[in-house]
Structure 1
């Protein structure tokens, strides 16, 4: 019944000789409305920020708070509105292709306006929070005088953090590789080694780093065991962090080794290579490329955890900043430590992105 009705309808359209009405372009009203509301909110925030930073009655307050933001955010919004109107006119005149193109351009301009105004709104809101109430937040956390006063001593103390991070990462990478190989040893004869490796990884991944630092740095000297109890606190901190992060690195190594097709191991063994040679010349080189980015991400986390050594009295960057903050009754020195850590980690995060992109390109064969 339905098929016959459909056939009659199609035949009727064909006999009538009229083509079906084409669908109108997607509406841009939602984009335009959202962009207009966000633009208005952005102008309000910019005016509030100008009022918090500039004295009343100055022309710059109106210029920077209303005129300049309106000109910046209004440009893409005006383009989007004009493209939308043009799309409606072209549709009414029967130029359907041009109408769809104009509608698409209107949506693109609206999205660009949303992105630009959203960025300006977030920056303005952050600035308003910092400079409101006579700049109370700025004076407490971002006082340039206190930052400059403590910068030299904090920079020197930061070398302690770098020393701990590099030493702990080296030990964690070596010991983590041993743990990963021990966990992957085949055969029933190696089950005790596998069980021990798994137990270590599970236990030390579950212990908070700050607790382990406290136990190692305060506990080993109390044992009065020769050599073990006579170490430097920085060495104890390196060992404590290495114990924790070797467990994480072991899982990275294991994932990297297991990502390599087992046929490569079989082919290498069939060519006469021994198992250690297969691991050295076939598995480890490929594994290193696969886990380079995740390993660097773990190292970034290790760098931040070096600030935990404050609990055992090591004068690192954070400890030095706390001394200045206590003397000045101001936290700008601690904010300076945050900036230094960010400056150290940002290049590394960009390197991680590059390594991930290169690995993805290699896998696609481009």
Structure 2
């Protein structure tokens, strides 16, 4: 026969009656808030959906943009193009991290000897932050192959990716520079007092602290890069947008564009939510907002 086991160990902490009442009140308030939020959301979506469906041109819009048969037939081609976008995004992001970190370190160098490097880094950031990304893609996508540089490919995919790397590196370099300069100078002095060189101090003391501080904005830039990788379609690269354009040209039904948009959202929205969650976890209030 089994012996009864004590519910609580002797001397274990027990919440007071007041604390249990508070916990129960918080639980009821959380449930009530969730019910109200869900109800108001459904009400708003229902009102917007009703207004759209009852509009005079809805039937034509539905046939042109939300044709299920067209979506099913174009899905494989658009998904194949999306795989190219993903590969471009991954390769470009690695190159962006490398180039932007180099530019950020150059811009934080001290001393008059490093002035030409700082000037070059500042000019690079100013130029590529001032140029629209689409314009950079056009300039490199059409001008780069015309140069016929020895050892460099002439494919639009290469030059479109180069445009993404150069443009985004200018923005990410400023994120890294802000993180590096946010580390208190005493950290550098402490590293030097221990006999570390400037490079060792930067590598072992400054950069690890700066990296932790800039992860949320870096993840936001990655989300933006996921979307902007579709801009290389203007060069004729067969990515998701280009595949959707080809499918649309068959019968002038624009449903493939909607399919491409949904697939891009399936990539960017989870990453955006992950970014917001990480920022809130690390105490970066206001970085992503609350749902």
Structure 2 equivalent of residue 56 of structure 1: none
CA contact (8 A) 2:191 2:201 kept: yes
Paired residue secondary structure (2:283): helix
Out of 263, 267, 274, the position equivalent to 2:186 is: 263
1:272 matched to 2:216: no
Structure 2 equivalent of residue 314 of structure 1: 237
Structure 1 equivalent of residue 18 of structure 2: none
Match runs of 1:101-250 below 5 Å: 115=37, 118-132=40-54, 133=56, 135-228=59-152, 230-250=153-173
**Alpha-carbon distance in structure 1 between the residues aligned to 2:77 and 2:43:** 37
**Alpha-carbon distance in structure 2 between the residues aligned to 1:138 and 1:290:** 46
Q: 1:280 to 1:207 in 2, by over 3 A?
A: same
Paired residue secondary structure (2:282): helix
Which residues of structure 2 form unaligned runs of 5+? Answer: 1-29, 285-291
Shift of 1:116: 5.3
Structure 2 equivalent of residue 286 of structure 1: 209
Structure 2 equivalent of residue 80 of structure 1: none
Paired residue secondary structure (2:238): coil
Which structure features the higher share of helix residues? 1
1:340 matched to 2:263: yes
Query: How many residue pairs get matched?
Result: 254
Q: 1:113 to 1:238 in 2, by over 3 A?
A: closer
CA contact (8 A) 1:130 1:138 kept: no
RMSD: 2.3
Paired residue secondary structure (1:272): coil
Q: 1:113 to 1:158 in 2, by over 3 A?
A: closer
Shift of 1:143: 1.8
Q: Deviation string for 1:236-280 (max 9, x for gaps)?
A: 111111000110110000011111111111111111111111111
Which residues of structure 1 form unaligned runs of 5+? Answer: 1-107, 362-366
CA contact (8 A) 1:147 1:333 kept: yes
CA contact (8 A) 2:137 2:160 kept: yes
Q: Give the structure-2-normalised TM-score.
A: 0.81
CA contact (8 A) 1:129 1:137 kept: no
Q: 1:135 to 1:358 in 2, by over 3 A?
A: same
Q: Give the structure-1-normalised TM-score.
A: 0.65
Structure 1 equivalent of residue 4 of structure 2: none
Paired residue secondary structure (2:203): helix
**Alpha-carbon distance in structure 1 between the residues aligned to 2:276 and 2:191:** 32
CA contact (8 A) 2:216 2:279 kept: yes
Match runs of 1:339-358 below 5 Å: 339-358=262-281
**Alpha-carbon distance in structure 1 between the residues aligned to 2:216 and 2:155:** 32
**Alpha-carbon distance in structure 2 between the residues aligned to 1:244 and 1:269:** 35
Larger radius of gyration: 1
Structure 2 equivalent of residue 68 of structure 1: none
